[in-house]
Structure 1
Amino acid sequence: MGIELLDRTALVLFSGGQDSTTTLAWALDRYDHVETVGFDYGQRHAVELEVRSVVADGIRRSFPDWGDRLGEDHMVDLQVLGRISETSLTKGMAIAMADDGLPNTFVPGRNLIFLTFAAAVAYRRGIRHIVTGVCETDYSGYPDCRDDTIKAMQLALNLGMDTRFVLHTPLMWIDKAETWALAKLLGGDELVDVVRTQTHTCYEGDREHIHDWGHGCGACPACELRATGYRGYLARQQA
């Protein structure tokens, strides 16, 4: 085995969006020490990188116990990924479906690269558990979000680094309404408010318009998915 990993520590892939914020809360609820890692890959919604610290500060203020567990944040420069990707998330093109049946927001290899760099950070920091907010239930069809992909990545990372990482995907089998409900379960209405008012999901990077479900243009696929999930969450709360 390459190095000794601490079993009560976790590294969360944290973009500043709804899913990664809920995932961060999930990790803070379970581990004694949690660090975060973000990626600048030339995304058109780079404003998400700016809100990461805002969201983290909001969690520290609202949840002091979690704040005591929240450790160092790591930022990885992956601008090269944006330069080699011909996608609507990294180039000035309209969001649409591609000929292969995937939305052109799909950045090939993105989550594979994210997890590889996250594992490199975790290896250096002696962190055993790596947590990511990918989901196969309510997603855009991205193949690198699938459960089989994550399981294969865990095997490859452990073989390639001669260690025993565990990759966690707490959102894998739940839809967006259930993701809102998970935030409520973990941190009550306070955490729901943090997610709703401070996180960023909109592909267009719109922070000017505010809706009941949060900031965004209200028209891009990310906004539509988030809004639909929020309406479903409210309906289930009232049922």
Structure 2
Amino acid sequence: MLEKIYHASCVLCFSGGQDSTTLALWAKKAFKQTHLLAFNYAQKHAIELKQAQKIAKLLDLPLKILDLHFLQEITLSALFASNPQSSNAPHPKNPNLPASFVPDRNALFFTLAHAYAFNLGADFVLVGVSQEDYSGYFDCRKEFIDSLQTSLNLGAFGTPEGISFLAPFMAMGKAQEFALAQDLGGLELILEHTHTCYEGVRGVRHAYGYGCGACPSCKLRQDAYKEFLRDYK
């Protein structure tokens, strides 16, 4: 992980899921100020926003939620509540992508986080993406993050330098994230309060947390928890 940056502040793209909550646990210790930014884009698993609010209170971190319902009007994804398509299917516009892919979602989220950071005078935007566990989403890769950072800084500051994007989990898998959460004293917070299930199922707690157990996100998290217990616990 990165060295502690006590003098700096950051805006953290926050969903209430495993990745962003683990990142928030670390950021709370690493930064002087951490501002959480979440997005309501009419997602099928909107329960994640309720969990995000609970987690923000538990961590005593400020949280702002932006309304992006318009996104469902201009693009397709199985993640939208209005779309009955299974998240296990291929995307209708690109069979090489999963149906859960939301075109330009990360570009929009990260752009808004950059604007928020600019307004707050924050030094960094933190994102919990990983190209090791990126589920086929091309906008979770390092080259995308680096390119977007350059473009947004050119637009806001006139140079490639300005607000830095940090993706500390880029080369990590979710099993390593479980281990990091344990090291930070937040493993039970991750298991009990975070939500990653695409179907929004939160009725029964499994060993790895809550979820339907069948969607791609649940399968990834379940496998990662087994790996964590085997290799890191």
Instruction: Give the structure-2-normalised TM-score.
Output: 0.91
Q: Does residue 43 of the first structure (1) align with residue 33 of the second (2)?
A: no
CA distance in 2, matches of 1:83, 1:179: 34
- Tell me the residue number matched to 1:97: 90
Unaligned runs of 5+ in 1: 1-5, 60-66
What whole-Å deviation, never above 9, does each CA across 1:138-192 have from its counterpart, x for those lacking one? Answer: 12110110000000011011101116001000111011111111111222xxx00
Q: Report the secondary structure of 1:32's partner residue.
A: strand
Q: CA RMSD in A?
A: 1.4
Asked if 1 retains the 8 angstrom alpha-carbon contact of 2:45 and 2:79, the reply is yes
Q: Report the secondary structure of 1:102's partner residue.
A: strand
What whole-Å deviation, never above 9, does each CA across 1:184-237 have from its counterpart, x for those lacking one? Answer: 1222xxx00000010100000001121011010011000000111011001013
Asked if 1 retains the 8 angstrom alpha-carbon contact of 2:53 and 2:63, the reply is no
- Tell me the residue number matched to 2:54: 54
Unaligned runs of 5+ in 2: 1-5
Question: 1:83, CA displacement in angstroms?
Answer: 2.1
CA distance in 1, matches of 2:176, 2:130: 12
Percent of aligned pairs with the same amino acid: 39
Asked if 1 retains the 8 angstrom alpha-carbon contact of 2:175 and 2:227, the reply is yes
Q: Report the secondary structure of 2:125's partner residue.
A: strand
Question: 1:44, CA displacement in angstroms?
Answer: 0.5
The residue identity in structure 1 corresponding to 2:116 is V
CA distance in 1, matches of 2:46, 2:140: 21
CA distance in 2, matches of 1:134, 1:237: 21
Instruction: Pick one of 179, 182, 192 that aligns with 1:181.
Output: 179
Instruction: Pick one of 204, 207, 222 that aligns with 1:227.
Output: 222
Q: Does residue 129 of the first structure (1) align with residue 121 of the second (2)?
A: no
- Tell me the residue number matched to 2:72: 82
What whole-Å deviation, never above 9, does each CA across 1:101-125 have from its counterpart, x for those lacking one? Answer: 1101000000000001111111111
Identify which of structures 1 and 2 has the higher relative contact order when contacts are C-alpha pairs closer than 8 Å and 6+ apart: 1
Count of residues paired in the alignment: 220
Asked if 1 retains the 8 angstrom alpha-carbon contact of 2:10 and 2:122, the reply is yes
The residue identity in structure 2 corresponding to 1:94 is S
CA distance in 2, matches of 1:43, 1:83: 12
CA distance in 1, matches of 2:109, 2:72: 13
**Which stretch shifts more, 161-170 or 192-201?**
161-170
Instruction: Pick one of 113, 116, 132 that aligns with 1:118.
Output: 113
CA distance in 1, matches of 2:72, 2:19: 22
CA distance in 1, matches of 2:29, 2:167: 15
- Tell me the residue number matched to 2:155: 160
Judging by fraction of residues, say which structure has more helix: 1
The residue identity in structure 2 corresponding to 1:172 is M
Question: 1:87, CA displacement in angstroms?
Answer: 1.1
